[in-house]
Amino acid sequence: MNKKFLLKAAALMPDLTHQKVTLQDNKVLDQGESVVYDFGDHYVGTVTIDFGWAGSPQDAPALVKIKFSEIAYEVDEDTTDYNGWISKGWIQEELIHIDALPCKLKLKRRYAFRYVKIEAVALSQKYSLIINKLTADTVTSAPEFVPVVGNTPLEKKIDKIALRTMRECMQYEFEDGPKRDRRLWLGDLRLQAITNYCTYKHNDLVKRCLYLFAGTADKNGNISACVFTKPKVLPDDTYMFDYSLLFIPTLLDYLNATGDKQTATELLPLALKQLELAKAQFDGDIVRDSDKLGWCFLDWNLALNKQCGAQAVYIYCAKAAVKLCERLDKDCKAIKLDIEAKTKAAIDTFYDKQKGLFVSGADKQVSYAANIWMCLAHVFGEKERAELLDRLKYYDGAVKLVTPYAYHHYIQALVECRKSIDAHDIILSYWGKMAELGADTFYELFNPENPDESPYGSRAANSYCHAWSCTPSYFLRKYF
């Protein structure tokens, strides 16, 4: 842990803007009855519930279940038997005893919600529970509302939802999702940061997050995929090949957006260190494949072979390192030579000339992710990339994308070879579909062909406001 860096991060701790949202009611519940409140939009914050009673004096503690839901579907989902592999602890559901009514029940935890369901699980035969008022103390570190852009109502709707998603994830750090995991992941940060530069412009929050990652690098310089900040700053022990490397373009984007050479200079050695550390995963100039679950992320897809994509991410990040060095007048001849070698090896090893596509792993898997990242790494020129992406689109059996994170990279790859119409179509069909289904914020995971899908064994653990889904606001401003 680098104390100096962590002190800088601490000094950049943002103030949260609080906004009270109140729902008045005089709902009377008997035992077993429930009521659902709709706050009308997605919020992050704490909630106070003003309870009273009717009938005889309260002769037994009230047992109340309070469930917070980001989307309408969650409200009535029975989570009793939830047995997904991701912790049940994420389900925003509390069982609380109230010994003495009337009572202003201030729930201490922070929730992400639009809907609040209150159920009188146990009262007594003699009294009823009254709900007088719900007050949400909502929080964000987003400085202000940003005007919505878009040429059509759907574009405007998409931008509004993406901006809301960003805003909700902007807390003391850029969180991946305010319901889950409520913390800073490098992959999410990179997309939040580029969207931030053209929307909320809370650049110090990006700076704080860069220092949190830098300050929690291990003694060898490895940057964790994720940083915890409560109860104290701590790196996760999850290290992913791509996430660590993506510190480099995240720093470059920050420098480009802010011109803050001091920070870039201070963090450059650690950024370059990621390239060096990544070499342990290479055999010669080729990334060694691995069976280790999650060794490289790319997309939330267990069927995806990561070898080729990892090689592409390396080249992409090395090129960002070159740009950083050039801006900061640092020598980078060795990196350039390395990029040449890795690019040649990538094409020799992974490019299937017959298919005209990159393939990955021992089984020579064709996937969107691998080909997209090879495009982003610019291993080919613009025209060849455009042709490759066309072939990919019509290739039968390519492993598809499952997360908005991966869709972001697809769109970026498309716009970088002037395939703006395709890119635009995907924004409208992917994010637009979520919007049409009633999203207030964009989801962590979305399969337009199966909107109920969850990799966690139950949708109850899904995050419906997820940072890596916010980039339509970036694309709409930058490219359309």
Write out the residues near a copy of itself by the rule CB under 8 A: 31, 56-63, 85-90, 94-95, 97, 99-103, 109, 121-126, 180-181, 228, 230-231, 234-238
* Smallest separation (angstroms) from a copy of itself to the CB of 4: 22
* Smallest separation (angstroms) from a copy of itself to the CB of 2: 18
* Smallest separation (angstroms) from a copy of itself to the CB of 53: 11
38 vs 116: CA distance, rounded Å: 7
Q: What tokens does 171 get? A: 């807390």
Residue 218 contacts residue 23 (beta carbons within 8 Å): no
Q: For a copy of itself, give the closer residue by CB, 108 or 353.
A: 108
Q: For a copy of itself, give the closer residue by CB, 120 or 286.
A: 120
Q: What tokens does 440 get? A: 């207030």
E strand or H helix at 393: helix 382-394
Closest listed residue to residue 165, CA positions, set 200, 210, 197: 200
Beta-bridge mates of residue 139: 18
Residue 439 contacts residue 415 (beta carbons within 8 Å): no
Q: Can the peptide bond before residue 181 be classed as cis, meaning omega within 30 degrees of 0?
A: yes
| CA 234 from centre of chain | 19
* Smallest separation (angstroms) from a copy of itself to the CB of 9: 17
Q: For a copy of itself, give the closer residue by CB, 42 or 180.
A: 180
Q: For a copy of itself, give the closer residue by CB, 82 or 316.
A: 82
* Smallest separation (angstroms) from a copy of itself to the CB of 395: 36
With a CB cutoff of 8 Å and minimum separation 6, the contacts of 1 are 215, 216, 233, 235
Beta-bridge mates of residue 54: 128
413-444 burial: b if 16+ Cβ within 10 Å, else e: bbbbbebeebbbebbbebbbebbeeebbbbbb
* Smallest separation (angstroms) from a copy of itself to the CB of 456: 11
Q: For a copy of itself, give the closer residue by CB, 50 or 253.
A: 50
Q: For a copy of itself, give the closer residue by CB, 26 or 87.
A: 87
Residue 46 contacts residue 106 (beta carbons within 8 Å): yes
Q: What tokens does 268 get? A: 């450059």
Residue 298 contacts residue 369 (beta carbons within 8 Å): yes
* Smallest separation (angstroms) from a copy of itself to the CB of 437: 27
* Smallest separation (angstroms) from a copy of itself to the CB of 306: 21
Q: For residue 35, give the 3-state DSSP assignment.
A: strand
214 vs 212: CA distance, rounded Å: 5
Q: For a copy of itself, give the closer residue by CB, 173 or 338.
A: 173
Q: For a copy of itself, give the closer residue by CB, 55 or 150.
A: 55
* Inter-CA distances, 211 with 263, 348, 391, 437, Å: 9, 38, 41, 38
* Smallest separation (angstroms) from a copy of itself to the CB of 90: 6
Q: For a copy of itself, give the closer residue by CB, 110 or 167.
A: 110
Q: What tokens does 74 get? A: 């969650």
